[in-house]
Structure 1
Amino acid sequence: MSIYRIAHLSDPHLPPPPGAFGWKDVFTKRLLSRIAWRRKRKVHRPEVLAALVADLKAVGPDHVVISGDLTNFASHTEIAAARIWLESLGNPTDFTVSPGNHDALAGSAEVERFATWRPWLGDADETQFPQVRVRGPVAIFNLCSAVRTAPHLATGRLGEEQLSRLDALLCAPAYKGLFRLVTLHHPPQKGAVAKRKELEDQEQLRAILARRGADLVLHGHAHESLIGSVPGPNDAVIPVLGVASASSGPRGHSPARWHMIEIDDRPTSRHVRIVARGVEPGREGLSELGRYSLADISG
C-alpha cells in the first residue's frame, strides 16, 4: 500500500511590497484594487498565512498545489516578491502554481508575464498551459484561467487553444491509469461564484471533462471551501473542491484552511481521502477540521 499526499492551498494574497503600486497605476485597474486592498488587508493577514505554511510543512505533503492569487495588483514588483515567497517554501518541483485573476489584473495580456514563476508552473522549460506534472500515481493538469478583465470584473477564461490541448492531454496514453488531477483558479461548476467572477468558458471545460474524464478538480477564487461536482463520462461524477483563502483571518467570512488529498493507490483499487486543516474560531493555531472520502461526493 502506498499513500501519496497532495496539499492544496489558494489565494494567499501576499502583502504588497514597497513599490507595488506606482503613480502610473492610477490610470489602470490597479487603482481599484489598491482602494479595495485598504479593506482587504484587514482580512488577509500575513501571520495567518505564515501559520498555515508552518502547519503544512510540519505535516510534510509530497506535493503542493497553489491555485492562484498570490498577488493583488499584478505589478512586476509583486510578481518578483511572490517568487521569493515561493522559493521560501521549498523545491519548485514539489509545487504547482496555477495563476489567478489578481495575478493578471493589469499589464501584459500574454501568459509570458508569468515567466518569473516558470519553475512552479510545470516541468516544461517554457511558459505555457496546460502543463502536466507526473508525481507518483498522479498526473497534475495545470490550467491558467487568469486573464485581464474590465473594471469590476473578476472573470476567467481558458481559451480555445488551451482547451484543445487539455482535450488531447486527458486522453493521452502516457497518463492512462494515473490519478488525473486538474487544477485552475476559477471554479468550473455553475453557481460557485457570482456571474462577474465566473469562468467564461466553463461550459466548454465541462464538455471536455464529460468526454475525457478526470478524477478530481481543484480551484480557488471563491475564498471559501466548496464541495461540488461536474459530469464525467458514462454518467460518472467528477468531484470539484475549492479551498478558502490561505491568509484569511478571523474577520474573513471563511477562515484560512488547506486541504490534504491522500491518494491510497492499491493494486486493485484506489481510495482518496480529504483532510481539512485550518483556523478554528476560539482555538490557537491550525488544527484538523474534518476528513471525508471522495467516494462521499462521487458516490
Structure 2
Amino acid sequence: MFRLAHISDAHLGPLPKMSLRELASKRITGYVNWQRNRRKKLFGDTLENLLASMREAAPDHVAITGDLVNLATRTEIESARVWLETGFEPENATLVPGNHDAYVPGALGRAKAAWRPWLVSDTHSPEEPLFPSYRRRGPVAIIGISSANATLPFVATGDFKRKQARAAGKLLDRARDEGLFRVVMIHHPPVRGAAKWHKRLRGIGRFGRMLKKHGAELVLHGHTHLDTLYHLKGRDGQVPVVGIASCSHGPGGGTPPAGFNLFDIEGEAGAWKLTHRRMRMAGEGPGFEEIQEGLIGSGAL
C-alpha cells in the first residue's frame, strides 16, 4: 500500500512589512483583504497541529497544491522556502504553485527558483519547461501542472494551455504504459462551476479532453478552500477530483476549518483500489478527526 497525503492553501503568515512601492500594485487589494479577513481566519497553531496529525498517519508522500504565500513578496517566498526545508524533504513532497504564489508579474519566477527542489521532475533538463512535472514514487506517478499566473486586481483565474496539455498527456500515457497509478496535481479546480467566474480555471474543457484521451486515476486541487469531491470522465472510467480546505484555516468563517486528505493506494494497473479519508480539525482543540472514508474511483464502482 502507498499512502498519499494532500494539503493546500497554507497562506503562510503574518504578512511582512511592505514598502509603498510593493503596495503600488495588485498587492494593495490583497493587503486590505488580509487585514480585514484572512488574518482573522488563519491564526494560532492550526497549521502546526495539522502537520503533526498528518505525520502521525505516516504518509509515503505529500502533495501540496499551491498558495503557500499571500502577496508573493520576496520575503514571503523566502520564508516559504524555509518552511518547506524545515518540514518536507523534496523526495517526499511535491508542490505545484497557486495564484497567490504568482500574485504579481515576476513573482512566479522567483517562487520557482526558491522552491525548485519540490517542483522539479525526477529527471529535468535546464532547457525544458518546469511544468508539467513528473515524479515516480513507488507505484505512483505524480504529474504536476501549473495553472498559476499573475492576474488583474479582483481576479484569481488560472490557465491550462495547449502546450502544457499536450506535454501532460504524454506523461499520462508514459505512466500508464509503466503500469503506474496516475495522480494529477493542479491548483485551480478543473471542474465547471467549482469556482466562481473570476476565480475559474481557463482551459477547463482542454483539461477534460486530456483526461478523456489519456486517463488518470486521481486529480488533486486546492484554491476554493472547500472539501469537495467531483468526477470527470477519463479514458477508462470516472476520475475522482478532490479538493481540500485550507490547511491553515481556524474554526469559524465561511469555509470549512483546516483539513487534509489521505489516500491509500493498493492493487495494480487495471485493478487499483483507492481509499479516501478526509481529516478535519476537531473543534478548537489540537486534534483532527476523520469525517469521511470510502472507496473512490473505478474501485468503488
> Structure 1-normalised TM-score?
0.92
The amino acid across from 1:49 in the alignment is: L
Q: Which residue of 1 aligns with 2:113?
A: 115
Q: Decide whether aligned partners of structure 1 residues 124 and 152 sit closer, same or farther in structure 2, where only a CA change above 3 A counts.
A: farther
Deviation at 1:56, TM superposition (A): 1.1
Q: Distance in 1 between matches of 2:60 and 2:213?
A: 30
Matched letter for residue 194 of structure 1: K
Q: Supply the AA of the counterpart residue of 2:170.
A: A
CA distance in 2, matches of 1:124, 1:111: 20
Is 1:246 matched up with 2:247?
Answer: yes
Give the length in aligned residue pairs.
Answer: 295
Q: Deviations over 1:99-158 (max 9, x none)?
A: 000000113176464111000013345561000000011000001000011110000002
Alignment identity in percent?
Answer: 37
Partner of 1:258: 260
Pick one of 51, 54, 71 that aligns with 2:52. 54
**C-alpha contact (below 8 Å) 1:17/1:81 kept by paired residues:** no
Range with bigger deviation, 61-70 or 264-273: 264-273
- Distance change in 2, residues 1:171/1:267 (3 Å): closer
Q: Match of 2:225? A: 223
The Cα shift of 1:174 comes to 7.1
Report the RMSD for the aligned CA atoms in angstroms: 2.0
Q: Match of 1:233, SS?
A: coil
Residue 31 (structure 1) aligned to one of 14, 28, 32? 28
**Could you tell me whether the CA contact under 8 Å between 2:249 and 2:258 is conserved in 1?**
yes
Q: Supply the distance in 2 between the matched residues of 1:128 and 1:58 (Cα, whole angstroms).
A: 32
Q: 1:202 to 1:156 in 2, by over 3 A?
A: same
CA–CA separation in structure 2 for the residues paired with 1:139 and 1:52: 25
* 1:281 counterpart = 2:279: no
Give the SS at the match of 1:251.
coil
Secondary structure of 1:25's match? helix
The equivalent position to 1:105 in structure 2, one of 96, 103, 106, is: 103
Aligned match of 1:76: 74
Match in the other structure for 1:211: 213
Shift of 1:96: 0.4
1:190-221 Cα shifts (integer Å, max 9, x gaps): 11110110001111111111111000100000
Q: How does 1:156-235 map to 2 (within 5 A)?
A: 156-172=158-174, 175-233=177-235
Change (3 A) 1:41 1:128: same
Q: Residues 99 and 297 (structure 1 numbering): CA distance in 2 closer, same or farther, change over 3 Å?
A: farther
Deviations 1:61-115 (A, max 9, x none): 0000000000000111111100100111131110001100000011317646411
- 1:142 to 2:144 alignment: yes
State whether residues 14 and 82 of structure 1, in contact with CA within 8 Å, keep that contact through their aligned partners in structure 2. Answer: yes
For the residues of structure 1 that align with 2:192 and 2:28, how far apart are their CA atoms?
Answer: 30
Alpha carbons of 1:132 and 1:80: their partners in 2 closer, same or farther (altered >3 Å)?
A: same
Name 1:90's counterpart in structure 2: 88
Question: Closer, same or farther in 2 for the Cα pair 1:285/1:113, shift >3 Å?
Answer: closer
Q: Which 10-residue stretch deviates more, 123-132 or 158-167?
A: 123-132
Paired residue type of 1:199: L
Task: Give the Cα separation in 1 of the matches to 2:180 and 2:187.
Answer: 22
Residues 9 and 222 of structure 2 are in contact (CA less than 8 Å); yes or no, is this contact kept in structure 1?
Answer: yes
Deviations 1:11-34 (A, max 9, x none): 011004534x32212221111100
C-alpha displacement of 1:45? 2.0
* Aligned amino acid, residue 47 of structure 2: L
Tell me the secondary structure at the aligned position of residue 201 of structure 2. coil
Paired with 1:159 and 1:112, the residues of 2 have a C-alpha distance of 21
CA 1:142–1:186 in 2, change beyond 3 Å: closer, same or farther?
A: same
* Aligned amino acid, residue 182 of structure 1: V
Q: Distance in 1 between matches of 2:107 and 2:82?
A: 23
Amino acid at match of 1:118: R
Q: Kindly tell me: are residues 276 and 161 of structure 1, through their superposed partners in 2, closer, same or farther at Cα, counting changes over 3 Å?
A: same
Out of 39, 42, 45, the position equivalent to 1:44 is 42
